[in-house]
Chain A
Amino acid sequence: MKDTVEPYVTDDGRTIGGVLMDMRNITLRFGGVEAIKDISFDIREGEIRAIIGPNGAGKSSMLNVISGFYNPQEGEVWFRGEKRPQMKPYQVARLGIARTFQNIALFEGMTVLDNIMTGRLTHMKSGMFWQALWVGRAEAEEVENRERVERIIDFLEIQAIRKTPVGRLPYGLKKRVELARALAAEPKLLLLDEPMAGMNVEEKEDMSRFILDVNDEFGTTIALIEHDMGVVMDLSDRVVVMDYGRKIGDGTPDEVRGNQEVIDAYLGVSHD
């Protein structure tokens, strides 16, 4: 069991640190519908944490709570040892949380490079005025940020499409560009909403490799939602299983796989 908060080293040599984010008794309602019912779990520094569950289980709602887009009616969100107050999404972004979307949300008319540059926004300090005039700190900042973006482009192997407008790219590449933009923010915590949705086997393999490499190379903590069970089990250190807004399992992939409730949820035993 890995319930202790002592740092430990995984079988493949990565160090998993203390608790980065702690979700305590979260309940989220839309009118009379309870999308999330009293769920608690934590995300530890350096780990890949998956949230899985059948359609409508409340996975995306959970991700939106983490990203600050939804405010839960009950419960507390603790981030880096502090209770997080109600926040606007941009404030959450400044805390070091970045995300990708299930339905790609890129600027279609802009080039790949410019899209990724927008991810650097939270790191730019010069105002619009100075940037428009291109003087003083604005230029130095642009150069520095461009360099970081170029490293991400190199890392995700998208050099060939650097100057291509995003609208012209195939789906799989758009997903990669979205990951690049999220990475550009240098997040402490990276949220991926169904990163493999709609991909073929080869694209899934590529994406898995990139997710592992991001985690390994930058030490980024990753929380992801995914449908594809195989992928999740291979990638993640720990898995939260949701069904009808409740948490029905939490643990290592092996533990979760052996959990009767999880098996029932996936194989479709009647709920009463």
Chain B
Amino acid sequence: MTAPAPGGENSVPALLARNVAQHGNKAAYREKEFGIWQSWTWAEAAAEIDALAAGFLTLGANVGDHIAIAGRNRPALYWAMVAAQKAGCVPVPLYADAAAEEIAYALEHCGARFVVAGDQEQVDKIADIRDQLHELDHVIYLDGRGLRKYDHTHMTSYADLQKAGRAAGNMAEIEKRTAALGPDDKCVMLYTSGTTGRPKGVVLSNTNVIETSKNSAEFDHLRPGDEVLAYLPMAWVGDFIFSIGQAMWTGFCVNCPESAETMHTDLREIGPTYFFAPPRVFEQQLTNVMIRMEDAGRFKKWLFDKYMAVGRKIGPKILDAEPVSGMERFQYRLADWLVIGPLKNTLGLSRVRVGYTAGEAIGPEIFDFYRALGINLKQLYGQTEATVFITQQPDGEVRSDTVGVPSPGVELKIAENGEVFYRSPGVFVEYYKNAESTASTKDADGWVATGDAGFIEEGTGHLRIIDRAKDVGKMASGALFAPKYVENKLKFYPDILEAVVFGADREYCTAFINIDLTAVGNWAERNNIAYSSYQELSQHPRVLDTIEAHVAEVNKSVAADEMLAGCQVHRFLVLHKELDADDGEMTRTRKVRRRIVEEKFDDLIAALYGGQSEIYTETEVTYEDGRKGKITATLAIRDATVVNAGKVAAE
């Protein structure tokens, strides 16, 4: 464990200087490039950062300027954030896959003078919107491929800027600006994807970031020598805290994959000790394992089933340090040797000491699977405005249905309508240029509304989240309507990728379902079902039968909860396209934008409540390059078996 900061270490650059002094020649960053893991020590990284910071100064960067960063996870872009801070500027990471107009909005809103862009793709997006951006001065690009012919009057390569910085001899000014960074100064600004309306720029101070990083690193006993894989969007607060905040605080090594597609290979090669993934990554891994086991030989399948059962029984007990008999311990060791160990190795999770998932609810089966493997997978609950951490699960108190106890330094309170409020050292400074939203989110005492409805479980003190507070409503009968609760149950089936449940102020609930192409496609292949497109597969009668059975099972489980029995899905349809961020139906962090889906597919909703058995529809889609197209489909609408609906409604 790292000793507490001996004062004055209240900025990221200050922590960097400490790391250089304490373990300057240990690996700080790695990136796979040209098939080989390249690495940089803390001292080397600091030198790169200094050169870039000096380069920013040669371009005339002033204290307080915003410097936007757009690209995939690469050490050089992480350095750009720290370099911006050293130059007294504020880094603003942007989503690499955002469309040009989304980037335009953020750049315009923060008035960024400089953009550090990963490659030609990002440069092109900025070029498209350049005339709207009056304050944009200079673009710095990392990978110069394809850019040679571009007009370079307002463009420089990263390496050239560093060269200019090294030659400029302005380090004294850099050191002066770095030393002036105080605890209340802006550390970073992050745009929240927002399930409604325009993104908001969340300003986090140095205290927010450093206190939170310190608390959370100590909570999980993170230490130098830990390894993380940085593969989640740099614009997401979690990545900022894991790959910059905690990495700087503890001095562990940040590894960047070669490309987005090689993530799983790189994960296996690095074998991180501290690993974060949204539920969908774990889901996908599990789906892939199950698909491959279906295709495996009979003996292997038998071995897998037998020893996974052992793992499921004993693995979680060992993790929670519950008493385990000698025989059980032996069985688990055998299972580990035969199945679990090799499987973990294939998944790249052999060395994981602390694993987190957050963002969405995770299915109990998925959760149990990883716990059976002996992976210490925990849940946390957080948001950008809290600098990630609100609650998290301590070792030994891990459950799939709660999000844990308040993180160190966090106070919680539940409002009368069930909404969760928190107060912590991580509470954000403000929404940039949006005092109105700041005031409606954060009160004078520093309490912040999460927008989620939940309750604290008696006895354990764990927080349980039910749904987004504004989504929780009443049905026409007056019964409680909590769509997320039902959607999560549906999404736990590997066949179902996404579900959207409707029912506020209605007589009964209905649902849109998105099938998971990997799982359903594989099933179709094994059952000799031919299909030529996602759309065709989604409407195949046997697929609809399967989904109908899933919905019926979910209804049964929903009915078991008296309060929510009204939320059973009476009618559903399977959508002909995947909900997509490019079409605005989801956020970049893949959360469904309910209102937009509702508006866009109002014809389908009308049909669900209109009693038809099928509906013809036309939908506009946006391709990745921004062009639009149209798809048409006739969708079948099915009724699902409902349990005791009459009785509940009659109460």
Partner-B contacts on A (CB < 8 A): 12-14, 146-147, 150-151, 153-155, 157, 159-160, 162, 209, 212-213, 216-217
Asked whether, in the complex, the Cβ of A159 is within 8 Å of the Cβ of B145, the reply is no
Q: Is the CB of B34 within 8 A of A147?
A: yes
- For chain B, residues 286 to 329, give those with C-beta under 8 angstroms from any C-beta of chain A: none
Question: Chain B 141-168, CB within 8 Å of chain A: the 1/0 string?
Answer: 0000110110000000000000000000
B149 near A150 (CB under 8 angstroms)? no
A159-B259, A159-B261 known; A154-B149 Cβ under 8 A: no
* Bound-complex Cα distance A209 to B145 (A): 11
Q: Please tell me if the beta carbons of A150 and B35 are within 8 angstroms of each other in the complex.
A: yes
The answer to whether B258 touches A216 (Cβ under 8 A) is no
Contacts of A147 in B (CB 8 A): 34
Q: Residue B262 at the A interface, CB < 8 A?
A: yes
Q: Which residues of A contact B259 (CB under 8 A)?
A: 157, 159-160
Contacts of A162 in B (CB 8 A): 35
Complex Cα gap A50–B533 (Å): 36
A216 touches B148 (CB 8 A): yes
Extra A-B contacts (5), CB below 8 Å, given A13-B149, A216-B146? A154-B33, A155-B145, A159-B258, A159-B259, A213-B145
Q: List 30 A-B contacts (CB under 8 A).
A: A12-B149, A13-B148, A13-B149, A14-B149, A146-B35, A147-B34, A150-B34, A150-B35, A150-B36, A151-B34, A153-B34, A154-B33, A154-B34, A157-B259, A159-B258, A159-B259, A159-B261, A160-B259, A160-B261, A160-B262, A160-B265, A162-B35, A209-B146, A212-B146, A213-B145, A213-B146, A216-B148, A216-B149, A217-B146, A217-B148
CB-CB under 8 A from A14, the residues of chain B are 149
Contacts of B148 in A (CB 8 A): 13, 216-217
- In angstroms, Cα B456 to Cα A234, docked, is 64
* Minimum distance in angstroms from B341 CB to a CB of chain A: 23
Return chain B residues, CB-CB under 8 Å to A12: 149
Q: How far is the CA of A244 from the CA of B145 in the complex (A)?
A: 40
* Best-buried of B33, B34, B146, B148 by chain A (most CB within 10 Å): B34
- Give residues 143-195 of B contacting A (CB, 8 Å): 145-146, 148-149
Residues of chain A lying within 8 A (CB to CB) of residue B261: 159-160
CB distance from B372 to the nearest CB of A (A): 29
Kindly name the residue among B35, B149, B262 whose own CB sees the greatest number of chain A CB atoms within 10 A: B35
Interface of B toward A, CB cutoff 8 Å: 33-36, 145-146, 148-149, 258-259, 261-262, 265
Chain A residues, CB < 8 A from B262: 159-160
Query: A154 — which chain B residues lie within 8 A by C-beta?
Result: 33-34
The minimal Cβ–Cβ distance linking A202 to chain B, given in whole angstroms, is: 9
Interface residues of chain A: helix, strand, loop or mixed (majority): helix
How many A-B residue pairs have C-beta atoms within 8 angstroms? Tell me: 36
Q: In this complex, what residue of B is CB-closest to A148?
A: B34
Closest 4 CB pairs of A and B: A160-B261, A150-B34, A150-B35, A13-B149
> Which chain B residue has the least Cβ–Cβ distance from A154?
B34
Q: What's the nearest-Cβ distance from chain A to residue B346, in Å?
A: 15
Shortest distance between the CB of A34 and any CB in chain B (Å): 42
Bound Cα distance A152, B284 (Å): 30
Minimal Cβ-Cβ distance residue in B for A13: B149
Q: From residue A244, how far is it (CB to closest CB) to chain B in Å? A: 38
Question: Given the complex of chains A and B, what is the CA–CA distance between A117 and B622 in angstroms?
Answer: 39
* Contacting residues, chain A, for B33 (C-beta < 8 A): 154
Query: Which A residues are CB-close (under 8 A) to B35?
Result: 146, 150, 153, 159, 162
Query: B149 near A217 (CB under 8 angstroms)?
Result: no
A104 to chain B, nearest CB (A): 22
C-alpha gap A159/B265 in the complex (Å)? 10
Task: Kindly list chain B residues whose C-beta atoms are within 8 Å of the C-beta of A209.
Answer: 146
Cβ contacts under 8 Å, A155 to chain B: 145
Complex CA gap A217/B261 in Å reads 24
Nearest chain A CB to B269's CB is how many angstroms away?
12
Q: How far is the CA of A155 from the CA of B143 in the complex (A)?
A: 11
CA distance A160 to B145 in the complex (A): 19
Closest A residue to B262 by beta carbon equals A160
Q: Please, how many angstroms separate the alpha-carbon atoms of A13 and B152 in the complex?
A: 13
- Inter-chain CA distance A209–B36, complex, in Å, is 26
Contact between A217 and B34 (Cβ–Cβ < 8 Å)? no
Give every chain B residue within 8 A of A159 (Cβ-Cβ). 35, 258-259, 261-262
The docked-state distance in angstroms from the alpha carbon of A146 to that of B34 is 9
Among residues of A, the one whose C-beta sits closest to the C-beta of B624 is: A202
How far apart are A96's CB and chain B's nearest CB, in angstroms?
Answer: 23
**Within the complex, what minimum Cβ distance (angstroms) separates B622 from chain A?**
14
Once bound together, how far apart are the Cα atoms of A162 and B32, in whole Å? 13
Contacts of B145 in A (CB 8 A): 155, 213, 217
Question: In the complex, A154→B146 CA distance in Å?
Answer: 13
Residues of the A chain whose Cβ atoms lie less than 8 Å from the Cβ of B265: 160
Question: Which chain B positions have C-beta within 8 A of A213?
Answer: 145-146
Which chain A residue shows the least CB distance to B265?
A: A160
CB closest chain-B residue, reference A213: B146
- Nearest B residue to A162, CB-CB: B35
Instruction: Report how far A93 CA is from B458 CA in the complex, Å.
Output: 78
Closest CB of chain A to B38's CB: distance in Å?
12
List the B side residues contacting A146 at CB < 8 Å. Answer: 35
Chain A residues within an 8 Å CB radius of B36: 150
Contacts of A157 in B (CB 8 A): 259
A159 to B259, CA, bound (A): 7
Q: Closest Cβ of chain A: how far from B198's Cβ, in Å?
A: 31
Nearest B residue to A14, CB-CB = B149
In the assembly, what is the distance between CA of A151 and CA of B262, in Å?
A: 16
Closest B residue by C-beta to A155: B145
